[in-house]
Each structure stands twice: as C-alpha cells, then as structure tokens.
Structure 1
Amino acid sequence: MTAIVRIDDETIGSEDFVRILKLSGRFESLIDEIVRDRVAVHAAKKQGIPVSPDEIQARADQFRRVLGLHRAADMNNYLDGMGVTLDEFEAFIVDGLYQEKMMERVCSERAVEEYFQLNSPRFDCIEVSHIVLETEDQAKEMLSLLEEEPDSFADLAREHSIADTRDDGGFVGRVLRGSLKTDVEAKVFNAAVGDLLGPFPAPDKSFHEIFLVSAKHPARLDDDTKAEVRRLLRDGWLAARAQEHVIEAR
C-alpha cells in the first residue's frame, strides 16, 4: 500500500484514501469525472484532433505561472514533491488539451444554435411567486382571498406562507421548464401573466401551493442559455460515448 500522508505515527495509504472516498460518497463523482475526461481523450485521438508542441508548451507555461513556479528548478521541485515525472506531467497537459478541443468541437457555436432551434421551448422561462400553506382548506381560503384582491399576493405571502420565500413576498424568480413537477409545470407554463394557479398538493399532502404567474419570457439564445445548451450537449455526448466502452469501477 502506497503511503499518501503521515500524521505523527499514523500513515494514510492509497487503500485508506480510496475507502474514505467511498464511505464519504465522493468516490463515484470523482470516478465519473475521470471517466468523462478519458472518454473525451479517446474520442479526440480517434478523430485525429491534433495537439501541437507549441500548444503543449504554452499550456505548461500557463500551469507554472498560475502556481508561481517561474524557474525550471521550481517546477522540478514541485513535481518531485508530488512524485510526478516530467513525462507524466506532459501527458496530463496533453490530455487536458485533447479534452478541451473535443468539447469545443462538440459544443461549437453551430451545434449550440442547432440544438436551440430544435429545442427552443425547453428554454422558455416564467417568473412566478407562490404561497405555501399546510392544509388544503387554508389554501382554498387563500385562493378565494386572492381572487378578490389579486394585488395582495405579496402581503399575504409575507403573512401566511410557510416557505422561505415569504420575506420576498413569495417571489420565486425565473423558472425554466423542467424545474417544477410535471403536472404543475404544464399548467403554469400554459397560464397567462396574472393567472393564479392551484392549490397544488405535495405528494405526501404535507403542504399545498398556490402560484402567481408574474411574467413570461420566450426562449432567447443569450449567454446563460448558451451555457446551458453547452452543458446539455456535453453531457449527452459523453453519455453516448461512454456506451462505446467497457467501464468497470473496482
């Protein structure tokens, strides 16, 4: 067992490290990240994506500058301290470049625009407020009050809602499709601005929720939407590529 760290007379080794990661619930997420990175590297190599010596040198120099390792001797001491060879460091740099270039190809501007055009309703969003109450009778009574005095929504939320949004008058903010329960979402996104909806019970009937639709925002390919599309493209691509490999966690 390779020693990782020593605390007085106690040695924590590689097997201890893996066991701690597993028991703390961090092992799977770390393995997923490593697998995703390796899948991207394999795909980049398979597609013949080039990585030039100049790119490797520039990335290595950037790595050193970030860590404040301005002399070659400083870098060598840093790697020696971690037990990493220069060849291993270069392989790490090259793999990072492969990953980036592969993801740039997968998440190109054209790919983002095409995905958005095909799935634009997915990126519609609305602004909603809500009032959350414990019982159905309370919720129905509240809905009757709101129908008579719709402008009192914020005040009634502050006074009666049990949600943590009560201090903000029940204001939830912008909500994307997929953020609400399916049955609630269909009604909320089809509602008009100013509509009151509900009450909707929780699955266990522990609370009941009333919504007010305050604004609707049709999908736009702005910076936030582009970032979300890139995430979806990346995750979908990586999931598909992972099916092409035999992956076993030990």
Structure 2
Amino acid sequence: MVDQIEKDAVCVGGEVISADRIAAEMQNHPADDAEAAWEAAARALVVRELLLGEARRLGIEPEETSDHCGRKMTEEDALVETLIEREVSVPVATEAEARRFYETHPDRFTSEPLVEAEHILFSASPDDAIAWNMALSDARGLMRRLRDDPDGFAELARTHSACPSREQGGNLGQIGPGQTVSEFEKALFVLGEGELCAEPVCTPYGVHIVRAGRKVEAQQLPFEAVDASIRAYLEESSLRRAMAQYLAILASQADIRGVALPASEGPLVQ
C-alpha cells in the first residue's frame, strides 16, 4: 500500500524504485559527488517509469525493435520510443527559420582562424633548472642565427629540434584555436606571416623557437554550408522543450515521492 511505503523511498504511483536499481543507474549519471549522482539516477528512473506507465495506459505497442544504429532495443526502450514519436511531435524547421537564426547569430557561423606554424623544440622539464636554462640559452643562440639567415630554419629544425616535426623542417601545419597548449598558441597568433617570435616560448614540453607562416583569417560561412546543421539544432531544441513540457504534465498527474520533478498545468504544445 502507498501508506506503507518508507518515508525516503523513491516511488511512482505507489511502485517503489529500489535502491539497487538507483545504484546501478548511477553509472550513467557522473556527477561531482555521490549524492548528486544518486539524485540524477533516481530522476531518470522516475521519468522512465512515467513514460512506461503512460505508454501502457494508452495501450501502445512498440513499433521499433532496433535503434537508429541497428542495435536491438529492449521492449521497454522500444515502448518509450514509440510513445515519444506518437505523443511528442516537433515541427520541421523551415529554411526561413534557419536563415533567421543564421542572421541573428552570425558569430556562431564563422570559420576558425588558422596559422601555419614552424618551431624548433629544445626539450626540458620546467622542474629541472639546469636543463631548462641550458634549453633557453640554446634557443636564444639559434634565434640569433635565424635573424641573420631566416632561410635556414628548416635545416636548423632538422638538426636541433626534439619534436618529430623536425622531419618536416619544424613545420606543424595549420593550427587553429585550442589545438595546442595555451602558451604556444598565445605566442603564435599574434605573429605576422613569416615573423619569428622575439623570445623563446616556454611550455610544459620545453623551450620553443616559433615562427608563423601563412595565416587564414576567420571568415563568415555561407548560409548554404550550415543550413542543415541549423535546422537540426532548431528541431533538437524544440524536441527538448516539448519533452520537458510533456514530462511536466505527466509528473503533475502522478503520485511521485522521493524526488522532485517539475509540474505543469498547461497543455502540451504540439
């Protein structure tokens, strides 16, 4: 009976979700601490029970037994998928809606700036003061030679660099934001084409001589190139909102104990 359920038990409509089930579900909800993971797992199982209960109430039969990757689904998973497809409809995003989003958020649709990078690495640990100072001294000495003979960069890289890129004369290819350590990126992106960094660049890997090559500035992507991804994003956002509202309605109609779910008094917007 509902009145006999333990005070702290998690249940939906009088059906208790066992602590063992919640503990097993926790692995799917990583969190900063065990309490947060427990709460997330409990909410997920309550949502699942709400959806299964509604599907059974409506007499729905599962229509699919495989997911979009072709993997066989459990009967309960198929039942939930069929319920959502029937009860939570999301309109297809139009070109006009996608274009309006594109024009409203132009910064989201720019290509990343790219810089072709060349470097010579003197490997040393920052914790080894002697090795570190020797690397700095070697880098500064080689930089003086490069100022007199810029065309000798590739040969010096092949001879002195501790990086595998020495086989390409120190060329790392094109680098975009976030593709290398912050110290290297900060030094590289302020250089002009063909400019040698005035000071050695220190990173956790050692001491670098850095030179920038050809630069490609960030550019606005054409709408046609991002139309499909914008529509997918808009439809996914609509689905999330519709699902949240649908679950809120189900939660407001159910006797849920042990966890808090949002409730809604409004109708589901289809």
- Structure 2 length-normalised TM: 0.46
Question: Which entry has the higher C-alpha Rg, 1 or 2?
Answer: 2
Structure having the larger proportion of residues in helix = 1
